Chain A
Amino acid sequence: MAHDHGHTEHKLAIFRGRLKFKSNVQKIWGVLIFLSFVTIVEVGLGILKPAIFVDNYFIGMKLLNWVFIILTIVKAYYIAWDFMHLRDEKSSLRRAVVWTAVFLICYLIFILLQEGTYIEDVKTNGFIKWNF
């Protein structure tokens, strides 16, 4: 019987070891509760739109949008680490997957958003008629 991999190798602690589960199944339900909680917080913020997050900006974007993006990355982390078992893989595999994506995506986003902002600037302040 090929039991070279399987249930015995799961890492059962999340939140940097602060929350430890007894079994893999228990961890899965725990992560579901956490992801649902984050989604509820996102929807709540989206409906209430607290003034403090809407009126303050950080690098050209509303604080509220930063909160949404950070919460999204938090959700993505737990999906990848616990549902896709990246936590249990060898760190070399994990890094090969994660860092490649992170660097390329950051670069892509920087280039495109930078250019978008520039074109918006030309459109608003330049001598170009765009509303015919």
Chain B
Amino acid sequence: MEATVSNTGTEGKVWGGGNKPLRASYGKMMMWFFILSDALTFSGFLAAYGFSRFKFIDSWPIADEVYNHFPGTHGDNPMYFVALMTFILIASSVTMVLAVDAGHHNDRKKTIFYMFLTIIGGAIFLGSQAWEWTNFIKGSYGALETKGGQILQFVDTKTTEDDDKMYRVSVEDFATASHKERVQHEGKNGLWYVSEPGLPTYSVQDVITGFNAHSTLAVRTQEIIPNVAALKASDNPADVAKAERFEKMYINADHKGHKGILTRAESEKALKDAVTYVKGANLIHNEYGNRLFGDFFFFITGFHGFHVFSGVVINIIIFLNILLGTYDRRKNNYEMVEKVGLYWHFVDLVWVFVFTFFYLV
């Protein structure tokens, strides 16, 4: 038998842990197991986002119009802030990997310094995300929601010679809130677990009255203008009919890829279906468009933010352990820093994908 089986020196050690085909320590392997399963969880969320987006491909909100705030400035600044957030997270990933490197050299002082910077980077990122959420929840323009869950936004159709863009108008700029009676719970209808509904800032009628008083306003729908010229030239009568519908309903039917702006007559008709005024976003309504859009935003960026938060907490624990000299005593080249580093880089990795699918694509 000796002649046919080569001797590798690992015989009989299969169960005792002597066999290490991957040459990675137990802790590192388990961190990779966890990262792999967490990666699949995030993929599930992002793929579900993709599913909903493909389902509503012709009416999904345009990211540039939703996330357009930058601290200390007004006006339209798409993407700069999230790009900055991406940079902050990548930079903190770099300080983390520098800490791992310093740990491999058993350089305690440098490891402490880089771990500290990593924690600061994580905290700045969390603060930025809180700011991003605040803007998203507060909203900027307000809109009306129809019975079928469609969002009606408002634009000013008045354009100048050098600027033919029709700008969004905030509902607050043209509507006046009327006096309203608060609905009070009484003994016969009050339920202890149901709170009284709050008064909406504007009633639908307030908005419609304001709309009627300003003749240059128009309603902007969620529908994205397709290539109408190409549809018209098509041999398929359904496409031609679709093109005609767009040209009849929308005043910007030649602006491919923009949200459709209804003619004044169509706007008035659309407003008849409105049931509620929406400002900002929560888990039920949002002023940006499809309801799922807000839900996915909260859920996916929230889940990622939770990962960043736990990463910062774990980093702080490891940081304190380095200060106490725990890893010097273990004499294993600060392997714990490497393991927590893997988790921290993974959080960065996920953000790279969230950044692409929420803000770029």
- A→B interface (CB under 8 Å): 1-3, 5-7, 24-25, 28-29, 31-32, 35-36, 39-40, 42-43, 46-47, 54, 65, 68-69, 72, 75-76, 79-80, 82-85, 89-90, 92-93, 96-97, 100-101, 104-105, 108-109, 112-113, 115-117, 119-120, 123-125, 130-132
Asked if A47 meets B78 with Cβ closer than 8 Å, knowing A108-B43, A132-B147, the reply is yes
CB neighbours of B338 from chain A (8 A): 85
**B333 & A3 in contact (Cβ 8 Å cutoff):** yes
Residue from B21, B83, B352 in contact with A43 in the complex, judged by beta carbons closer than 8 Å: B83
**A72 & B356 in contact (Cβ 8 Å cutoff):** yes
Residue from B24, B101, B333 in contact with A28 in the complex, judged by beta carbons closer than 8 Å: B101
**B78 & A39 in contact (Cβ 8 Å cutoff):** no
A93 to B119, CA, bound (A): 29
Name which residue of chain B comes closest to A42, CB basis.
B360
A79 to B97, CA, bound (A): 10
Residue from A40, A68, A80, A120 in contact with B57 in the complex, judged by beta carbons closer than 8 Å: A120
13 example contacts (A-B, Cβ-Cβ < 8 A) are as follows: A2-B331, A5-B104, A7-B101, A7-B104, A40-B83, A65-B360, A76-B349, A79-B93, A105-B43, A108-B44, A112-B48, A117-B54, A124-B58
CB neighbours of B348 from chain A (8 A): 79, 83
Min Cβ gap A3→B in Å is 7
User: Is the C-beta of B131 less than 8 angstroms from some C-beta in chain A?
Assistant: no
User: Is the C-beta of B32 less than 8 angstroms from some C-beta in chain A?
Assistant: yes
**A132 & B148 in contact (Cβ 8 Å cutoff):** yes
Scan B123-159; emit 1 where CB is below 8 A from any A CB, else 0.
Answer: 0000000000000000000000011101000000000
- B→A interface (CB under 8 Å): 21-24, 29, 32, 35-36, 39-40, 43-44, 47-48, 50-58, 64, 78-80, 83, 86-87, 90-91, 93-94, 96-98, 100-101, 104-105, 146-148, 150, 238, 257, 273, 331-333, 338, 341-342, 345-346, 348-349, 352-353, 355-356, 359-361
CB neighbours of A36 from chain B (8 A): 87, 90
Name which residue of chain B comes closest to A80, CB basis.
B349
CB neighbours of B150 from chain A (8 A): 131
A40 to B355, CA, bound (A): 13
Residue from B21, B50, B64, B346 in contact with A46 in the complex, judged by beta carbons closer than 8 Å: B64
Name which residue of chain A comes closest to B332, CB basis.
A2
A124 to B241, CA, bound (A): 13
CB neighbours of A47 from chain B (8 A): 78-79
Residue from B22, B55, B87, B332 in contact with A116 in the complex, judged by beta carbons closer than 8 Å: B55
A60 to B146, CA, bound (A): 30
Residue from B24, B91, B273 in contact with A93 in the complex, judged by beta carbons closer than 8 Å: B24
CB neighbours of A104 from chain B (8 A): 40, 43
Residue from B58, B100, B146, B331 in contact with A1 in the complex, judged by beta carbons closer than 8 Å: B331
Q: Output the residue of B58, B90, B100, B355 with the most chain A CB within 10 A.
A: B90
**B21 & A92 in contact (Cβ 8 Å cutoff):** yes
Q: Report whether over half of chain B's contact residues are helix, strand or loop; otherwise say mixed.
A: helix
Name which residue of chain B comes closest to A101, CB basis.
B39
**A29 & B94 in contact (Cβ 8 Å cutoff):** yes
CB neighbours of A3 from chain B (8 A): 333
A117 to B54, CA, bound (A): 5
**B101 & A24 in contact (Cβ 8 Å cutoff):** yes
Asked if A68 meets B32 with Cβ closer than 8 Å, knowing A1-B331, A119-B55, A131-B150, the reply is no
Closest A-B pairs by Cβ, 5 of them: A116-B54, A132-B148, A116-B51, A112-B51, A93-B22
Min Cβ gap B244→A in Å is 16
CB neighbours of B146 from chain A (8 A): 131-132
**B90 & A39 in contact (Cβ 8 Å cutoff):** yes
Asked if A35 meets B36 with Cβ closer than 8 Å, knowing A83-B345, A84-B346, A96-B22, the reply is no
**B80 & A43 in contact (Cβ 8 Å cutoff):** yes
Known: A2-B333, A113-B51. 15 other contacts (CB 8 A): A3-B333, A42-B83, A89-B24, A90-B23, A90-B24, A93-B29, A105-B40, A108-B43, A109-B50, A112-B51, A113-B50, A116-B55, A119-B55, A120-B55, A120-B56
Name which residue of chain A comes closest to B90, CB basis.
A35
**A39 & B148 in contact (Cβ 8 Å cutoff):** no
A87 to B64, CA, bound (A): 36
CB neighbours of A69 from chain B (8 A): 356, 361
CB neighbours of A112 from chain B (8 A): 47-48, 50-51
CB neighbours of A75 from chain B (8 A): 352
